[in-house]
């Protein structure tokens, strides 16, 4: 069974600007510095980040063929765990939703399953195609693996020797995720649509024409009542998942949105781009922007802590950064 961590109290909209200005002040950011790989001429590049469900570990997928698991309370690399075994750059990392010590990662043609506590690979699955996206079913018994050639492989982490099934989308898909109840798979497309498919039949149930151009990312809020969608048109839209109507659109970003997410309570949403130097944070119900995190580099990945107003992001050459960790 999955462990549960206590969530912090929500911050009201009226207090949000002052709260985030203080908690997310650049001077309070904590750095998690990467070593320079001996076989790479440049600094290690973080291609993916993910918190476990307790928020006591955060994993990074690196271009140096490894996964690094950090304890956010110990920012020295000597206190992190290196998971080695990939033959190519690690494109994506994702934690098992039921087991806070287990995670999966992928590179081109390969998916690995890990237990970071014992620093052990629990299994490896060979796949066809360049793997770029991972998503666990809520019961953790299936992992969906999206590829650049628009295939979605489904793997049972308990039997990694074979692939359960493979589905081929007719259009480019950039991300897949399961609904919170595990009954549907949501798939982004290059046509600006989100396709809902039944699980496990994979029959199309519904499609939402959400944006005028390709959708890059999506995430359900903690309750599953709204879906946030980030597009290459630089817009972030929120959709009611009961009636599938758009309830809010955020347009402050000026570059394609490549990463976004909800705060632990679903009250706030943020977005970033690998072509821009800002993170925009907005209040979902009012539509008000409450804070901008300004950096001097692009921000390809952001991830809210699952239980606190703490935000991790990448793009800084020194490594991972976490905002708000010193404020809680």
Reading the chain (328 residues) residue by residue, the pLDDT tens digits are 455 667 789 999 999 999 999 999 988 899 999 865 444 445 679 999 999 999 999 999 999 999 999 999 999 999 999 999 999 999 999 999 999 999 999 999 999 999 999 999 999 999 988 999 999 999 999 999 999 999 999 999 999 999 999 999 999 999 999 999 999 999 999 999 999 999 999 999 999 999 999 999 999 999 999 999 999 999 999 999 999 999 999 999 999 999 999 999 999 999 999 999 999 999 999 999 999 999 999 999 999 999 999 999 999 998 999 999 876 5
199 located within any domain: no
How many domains does one find in the chain? 1
What is the rounded CA–CA span in Å between residue 170 and residue 184?
Answer: 18
Q: Which residues contact 326 (CB under 8 A, 6 or more apart)?
A: 28, 30
246 located within any domain: no
What is the rounded CA–CA span in Å between residue 161 and residue 225?
Answer: 36
102 located within any domain: yes
Q: Residue 115's domain spans which residues? A: 44-168
136 located within any domain: yes
* Beta-sheet strand order (sheet of 278-283): 259-262, 268-272, 278-283, 289-294
Answer whether 0.85 is exceeded by the pTM.
yes
CATH code for the domain in which residue 52 is found? 2.130.10.10
223 located within any domain: no
Beta-bridge partner residues of 143: 136, 155
Do residues 120 and 112 touch, judged by C-beta distance below 8 A?
no
Tokens standing for residue 326: 């010193």
Q: Report the chain's terminal Cα–Cα distance, integer Å.
A: 27
201 located within any domain: no
23 located within any domain: no
Tokens standing for residue 35: 């070593």
What is the rounded CA–CA span in Å between residue 57 and residue 6?
Answer: 15
CA distances from residue 19 to 27, 265, 309 in whole angstroms, order as listed:
15, 15, 10
Cβ atoms within 10 Å, residue 18: 12
290 located within any domain: no
What is the rounded CA–CA span in Å between residue 271 and residue 274?
Answer: 11
The pLDDT, as a whole number, for residue 2 is: 52
Place of tokens 């239980």: 307
């Amino acid at each position: 069974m999955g462990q549960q961590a206590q969530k912090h109290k929500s911050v009201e909209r009226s207090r949000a600007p002052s709260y985030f200005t203080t908690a997310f002040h650049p001077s309070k950011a904590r750095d998690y510095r990467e070593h320079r790989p001996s076989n790479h001429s440049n600094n290690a590049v973080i291609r993916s980040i993910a918190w476990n469900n307790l928020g006591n570990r955060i994993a990074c997928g690196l271009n140096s063929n490894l996964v690094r698991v950090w304890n956010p309370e110990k920012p020295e690399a000597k206190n992190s765990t290196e998971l080695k075994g990939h033959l190519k750059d690690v494109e994506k990392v994702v934690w098992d939703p039921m087991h806070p010590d287990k995670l999966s990662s992928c590179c081109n043609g390969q998916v690995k399953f890990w237990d970071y506590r014992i620093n052990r690979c629990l299994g490896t699955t060979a796949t066809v195609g360049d793997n770029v996206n991972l998503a666990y079913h809520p019961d953790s018994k299936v992992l969906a693996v999206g590829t650049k050639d628009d295939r979605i492989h489904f793997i049972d982490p308990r039997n990694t020797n074979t692939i359960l099934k493979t589905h081929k989308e007719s259009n480019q898909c950039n991300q897949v995720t399961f609904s919170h109840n595990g009954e549907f798979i949501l798939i982004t497309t290059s046509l600006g649509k989100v396709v809902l498919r039944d699980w496990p039949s994979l029959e199309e149930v519904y499609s939402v024409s959400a944006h005028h151009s390709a959708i890059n990312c999506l995430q359900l809020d903690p309750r599953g009542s709204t879906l946030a969608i980030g597009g290459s048109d630089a817009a972030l839209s929120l959709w009611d998942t009961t009636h599938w109507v758009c309830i809010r659109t955020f347009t402050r970003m000026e570059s394609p949105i490549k990463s976004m997410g909800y705060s632990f309570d679903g009250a706030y949403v943020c977005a970033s781009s690998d072509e821009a130097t800002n993170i925009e944070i907005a209040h979902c119900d009012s539509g008000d922007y409450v804070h901008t995190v300004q950096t001097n580099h692009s921000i390809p990945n952001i991830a809210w802590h699952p239980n606190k107003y703490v935000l991790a992001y990448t793009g800084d050459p020194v490594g991972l950064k976490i905002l708000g960790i010193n404020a809680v």
